[in-house]
Chains A and B, each alone.
Chain A
């Protein structure tokens, strides 16, 4: 069974083509600048070759048409005909309250997804365009939608509600949704596979730390809380996002700086976080370098970054009345040994004991990095959202047969 996974952004299309029998990637790539000047399709072939296809790509449909054309081409393709594509899986950013798991896409599902557009006006429309394009180009092929928010739909109401008038929840669906769901689900399941333990009998805290970061509390196989909320700004300190912030401060800043909604959004989404504190970079590696060279703001931002992660871990341990596994993933979670060390070092009382040697040695690899005595197992699990989407797609389309 061969499955194509698509992730359509506002002006980009990421794709990966899987052979599910061998669980290998046959081809992957990216369509850039869709609908803009200088559009192109980048293909990474299985043999390591990279091909760049240049030319006009006017919209998502035409971008996907080229992806299919390239995959079936004699020169650079990996399949002889489109019939070899068994199913297509789509990453969809926001499933609102309508989707708590991945679904087979039908006309009804599409109209439900259209209802979620208001919640993610930048992300959901291109996702829908991708679905529409596949429906037109290869109508026989079943499609599956995998939602970034779905995994967190199991949160109890007391965890997802905000303390604002209930009417606003009813009117606009203002509540916490959480994001990175596919990643949290993949790494938590994968960790249980690695340790050969029952996913549905664990208390797991997953830290997805990248340019955008979130933490999830997963109890008995279900997400019970996560740090991102109605939008991805809430929670941890991120590359350029502020994370948790007093609303009073927001209002005060808007008044003092005389800025409107658009500038305020840019301020808290693009000028804040590590970049805002350091004024150097949103990239943790640059900040680490600056801190090593004695930059005090860089030192401060790292302390803030780590402290907030630790605070969330502590609160999720309390929320679940314990913790069996702590998982690090995402660019920073997988590759920054100092972040993992700083976060775990002061959590001994709660039963988190990191093995410094393993933490350094096994950086970036799928591994257990806690000491033998540690009450909580600490792991690095590199995330693979595309594989998760492909697996969901396989499962759902096979069930339907």
Chain B
């Protein structure tokens, strides 16, 4: 068969010279590709968007790609995806060490891991400012952080109205919900566009007023602290509290398992930020959680936290092991 003829479609519309639509994101940039970044990259890519992420070193770029692939493999093992879907997803994700490679993106999400008190805020702010120099004036710049508010992050930018906070919940494949927060300067245009983007990813939008910890982090911190408190007081044991939340309240995971999935170190940073913001002792990390940190039991990622996990991230059932012995 003869080669197909290639044409540019713009010449063929009924309505000539129409304005180019600005409804869609087609290329998403991600700055920092840890757990959250990997999750966002994978989700965006599975809905057909091109993704480019920035990591600090080539090793980390490689590692992030490897872990995204690993998650896709695990999705295949759990019947959630097919081999060809994995290929398509991986083909749309690129990594780089240069922020300037994100210049063609129409949405950039910052997902830099929080590291130590106060440091992350300055780092994030610097990234926002650097991004503004690189990307188009209409590119939406967002943060996935829950513990800093978008108004503070964007205050030094020329076009602050394109900044917004988008928080993906990453603790389970079924947590198809995203918190979106408008800052003081965020325009309706930006909000609408991001809302449409989230809906396109088949996730529910939860609009949240600007406040540290949003809904998800603030509420979870208190639940986890209270659960630890009850263990310490001897009111109930860990497994029973988990079971009660699972069966009694229909939760998919109990508070200790969720904390392990999110990462204990991260939960502690959330709590510290909340405590700094609100000054309320209910946000202060419980000693049980601090003890886990000292023992480097950071959760699923390192194979142990409140519980222990095998290489696939599946919980090792100690009771079951004891019985079978």
Q: Quick one: which of A68, A257, A262 contacts B14, CB cutoff 8 A?
A: A68
| CB <8 Å contact, B48 and A53 | no
Q: Across the two chains, which residue of chain B brings its CB closest to A42? A: B4
- Across-interface contacts of A56 in B (CB, < 8 A): 9, 20-21
Q: How long is the Cα–Cα vector from A391 to B9 in the complex, in angstroms?
A: 30
Find A33's partner among B2, B23, B27, B48 (CB 8 Å cutoff): B48
Pairwise interchain contact A54-B12, C-beta atoms closer than 8 A: no
Query: How many residues on B have C-beta within 8 angstroms of the other chain's C-beta atoms?
Result: 31
A159 located at the interface, meaning its Cβ lies under 8 Å from any Cβ of chain B in the complex: no
Residues of A contacting B80 in the complex (Cβ-Cβ under 8 angstroms): 259, 262-263, 266
The answer to whether A264 and B79 touch (CB under 8 A), given A36-B26, A36-B48, is yes
A247 to B128, CA, bound (A): 52
The smallest beta-carbon distance between B173 and chain A, in angstroms, is 7
Q: How far is the CA of A38 from the CA of B48 in the complex (A)?
A: 9
Query: Complex formed: what's the CA distance from A260 to B79 in Å?
Result: 10
**How far apart are the CA atoms of A69 and B200 in the complex, in Å?**
27
B133 beta carbon closer than 8 Å to chain A: no
B5 near A51: Cβ-Cβ < 8 Å: yes
Residues of A within 8 A of B6 (CB): 51-52, 54
A50 contacts B by Cβ under 8 Å: yes
Q: Is B82 an interface residue (CB 8 A)?
A: yes
CA of A75 to CA of B8, assembled, Å: 13
- Chain A residues contacting B174 (CB-CB under 8 Å) are 260, 262
Residues 258 to 295 of chain A near chain B (Cβ within 8 Å): 259-260, 262-264, 266-267, 270-271
Max chain A CB contacts within 10 Å: which of B12, B78, B200? B12
Contact for B5 among A50, A65, A137, CB less than 8 A: A50
Least CB distance, B252 to chain A, in whole angstroms: 8
A57 contacts B by Cβ under 8 Å: yes
Within 8 Å of chain A (Cβ to Cβ): is B132? no
B24 at the A/B interface (Cβ < 8 Å)?
yes
Is A307 located at the chain interface by the 8 A CB criterion?
no
Given A137-B14, A259-B78, A266-B79, the answer on whether A41 and B24 have CB atoms closer than 8 Å is no
Q: Decide yes or no: A49 and B15 within 8 Å by CB, A259-B79, A270-B82 being known contacts.
A: no
Residues of chain A within 8 A of B12, CB atoms compared? 53, 66, 69-70, 73, 76
- What 0/1 pattern do residues 18 to 49 of A give for CB contact below 8 A with B? 00000000000000010111001110000011
Q: How far is the CB of A12 from chain B (nearest CB, A)?
A: 12
Instruction: Give the residues in chain B near A315, CB-CB below 8 Å.
Output: none
Q: Are A11 and B48 in contact (CB under 8 A)?
A: yes
CB of B13 closer than 8 Å to a CB of A? yes
* Contact call B48/A267, Cβ cutoff below 8 A: no
Q: Does A55 count as interface, using CB distance less than 8 angstroms? A: yes
Given contacts A37-B27, A65-B15, whether A55 and B9 have CB atoms under 8 Å apart is yes
Nearest-neighbor residue (CB-CB) of B4 within chain A: A50
Which B residues are in CB contact (< 8 Å) with A11?
Answer: 48
B50 proximal to A (CB < 8 A)? yes
Closest to A39 in B: B9
B277 within 8 A of A: no
Q: Please, which residues of chain B bring their CB within 8 A of the CB of A76? A: 7, 12
Is B311 part of the contact surface with A, judged by Cβ < 8 Å? no
The answer, yes or no, to whether A318 is at the interface (CB within 8 Å) is no
CA distance A49 to B5 in the complex (A): 8
B21: which A residues are within 8 A, CB to CB? 56, 58-59, 62
Question: Which residues of A have CB within 8 Å of B49?
Answer: 36-37
| Residue of chain A at shortest CB distance from B8 | A55
* Mask: chain A, 232-270; 1 = CB below 8 Å from B; 0 = not: 000000000000000000000000010110111011001
Is B8 a contact partner of A53 (Cβ separation < 8 A)? yes
Which B residues are in CB contact (< 8 Å) with A54?
Answer: 6-9
Does the CB pair B79–A57 fall under 8 Å?
A: no
Q: Is B81 an interface residue (CB 8 A)?
A: yes
Residues on A with beta carbons closer than 8 Å to the beta carbon of B79: 257, 259, 263-264, 266-267, 271
Q: Tell me, in angstroms, the Cα distance from A56 to B24 when the chains sit together.
A: 10
Q: Does B152 contact A (CB under 8 A)?
A: no
Between-chain CB contacts (< 8 Å), 14 pairs: A37-B26, A37-B50, A40-B9, A50-B1, A52-B7, A53-B9, A54-B8, A54-B9, A56-B9, A68-B14, A69-B13, A75-B7, A257-B78, A259-B79
Apart from the given pairs A33-B48, A52-B7, A260-B174, 8 other A-B contacts in the complex at a CB distance below 8 Å = A41-B9, A52-B4, A53-B7, A53-B9, A55-B10, A62-B21, A260-B173, A266-B82
